[in-house]
Structures are given as structure tokens and as C-alpha cells.
């Protein structure tokens, strides 16, 4: 009877090891199936940044207007704003517009100069919209008259 008991015990131990291996294999299978399904449903599942991290690094809303100012360019929100934004802020900062206060004629000359030398495209009917926006919102600064003199001691002219 002795050898049988021993072999029974051996068999039970072997069975336990087999079932353990079965469990491990099943778990590994389930895990890889889950990974596969995740990658099929969303190819960037393991590499994509979480959406909250993307939102943090994304620039402010391109068309955001705050307190009457187009935040991205600093331009005043008025008629023609987006035409100006779309045609005049591609090559240089909008500061170049707001710092150069010119008459309509000089704006048209500047635009022509950029078209002839800087590859600025034809603006068509947008040119009028743009120039109107610029002279209305960034008018040439008036030179202003000097302050009236006061406290002057005039001397008498002798004849």
C-alpha cells in the first residue's frame, strides 16, 4: 500500500502545480487580450498623453476675445478684426500694425510695398476692410499743440 499512497501524493502535488500553471497562463492570456483590445480600440492607448495634460499645453483659444481685445494678437475687437488677423499677422506680430499709425493712403502704400517685396498676397476687397479697420482703431496720433505758456514776465519795449 505504501508506494500507492506516495504516488497519489506526488500526483496531487503535480496536479496542484499544473492548475497553478493553468491559472497563470489564463491570466497572461486575459491580460494580453485586454492590451490587444485596448490597442485596437485606441492605437495610442499607452503612448497618448491624458487629455488633461494636452489641455494644459494647448495655446489659448485662437479666437478668444477678452475686454474687447483679441487675446492672441492684442488687436482691438472691431469690424474687420478677423480679416486683419487672417491676413496681417501671419508674417509678423500685430505690434507692427498697432505701432505704425498711418493714414489710409500710407497703409495702402505699405501694403503695396509688402506685395512687391515681401510676397504679401493680393487682398482684393479685403484691403479696404483692413485699411478701414486700421485707420478707425489705430488712427494717426495727433501731434497736439504745445501747452499755453503761463507766468511769463513780459518786458516793456522801449521806443
Does position 116 interact with ligand HEC (CB under 6 A)? The reply is no
Of 80, 77, 75, the closest CA to residue 129 belongs to: 80
Nearer to ligand HEC, 8 or 86 (CB): 86
Distance separating alpha carbons of residues 66 and 74, to the nearest angstrom: 10
Rounded least distance, CB 89 to ligand HEC, Å: 8
Secondary structure class of 24 (helix, strand, coil)? helix
Output 6 or 93, the one with its CB closest to ligand HEC: 93
CB of 134 to ligand HEC, least distance (A): 6
The residue range among 36-44, 63-71, 93-101, 141-149 that interacts with ligand HEC, by the rule CB under 6 A, is 93-101
DSSP per residue, 37-79? HHHHH-TTTTTSPPHHHHHHHSPS-TT-EETTEETTTTEE--T
- The H or E element containing residue 96 is helix 95-99
> Does 130 contact ligand HEC by CB under 6 A?
yes
- Using a 10 angstrom Cβ sphere, with 0-12 exposed, 13-18 middle and 19 or more buried, the burial of residue 88 is buried
Instruction: List the grid coordinates of 138.
Output: 489705430
Report the SS3 class of residue 70.
strand
- Contacting residue, 57, 119, 125, 150, with ligand HEC by CB under 6 A: 119
Could you say which residues in the range 26-85 bind ligand HEC, by CB under 6 A? none
Does 114 bind ligand HEC (CB under 6 A)? Our answer is yes
Q: Which stretch binds ligand HEC (CB under 6 A): 6-14, 40-48, 66-74, 107-115?
A: 107-115
**Residues lying near ligand HEC in the complex (CB under 6 A):** 87-88, 90-92, 96-97, 100, 110-111, 114, 118-120, 123, 130
Amino acid at each position: 500500500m505504501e508506494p500507492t499512497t506516495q504516488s497519489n501524493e506526488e500526483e496531487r502535488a503535480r496536479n496542484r502545480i499544473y492548475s497553478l500553471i493553468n491559472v497563470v497562463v489564463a491570466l497572461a492570456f486575459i491580460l494580453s487580450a485586454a492590451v490587444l483590445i485596448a490597442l485596437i480600440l485606441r492605437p495610442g492607448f499607452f503612448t497618448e498623453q491624458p487629455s488633461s495634460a494636452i489641455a494644459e499645453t494647448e495655446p489659448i483659444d485662437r479666437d478668444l476675445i477678452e475686454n474687447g481685445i483679441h487675446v492672441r494678437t492684442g488687436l482691438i475687437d472691431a469690424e474687420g478684426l478677423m480679416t486683419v488677423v487672417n491676413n496681417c499677422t501671419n508674417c509678423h506680430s500685430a505690434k507692427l500694425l498697432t505701432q505704425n499709425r498711418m493714414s489710409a493712403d500710407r497703409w495702402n502704400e505699405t501694403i503695396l510695398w509688402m506685395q512687391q517685396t515681401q510676397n504679401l498676397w493680393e487682398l482684393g476687397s479685403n484691403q479696404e476692410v483692413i485699411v478701414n479697420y486700421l485707420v478707425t482703431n489705430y488712427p494717426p496720433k495727433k501731434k497736439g499743440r504745445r501747452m499755453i505758456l503761463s507766468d511769463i514776465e513780459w518786458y516793456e519795449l522801449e521806443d
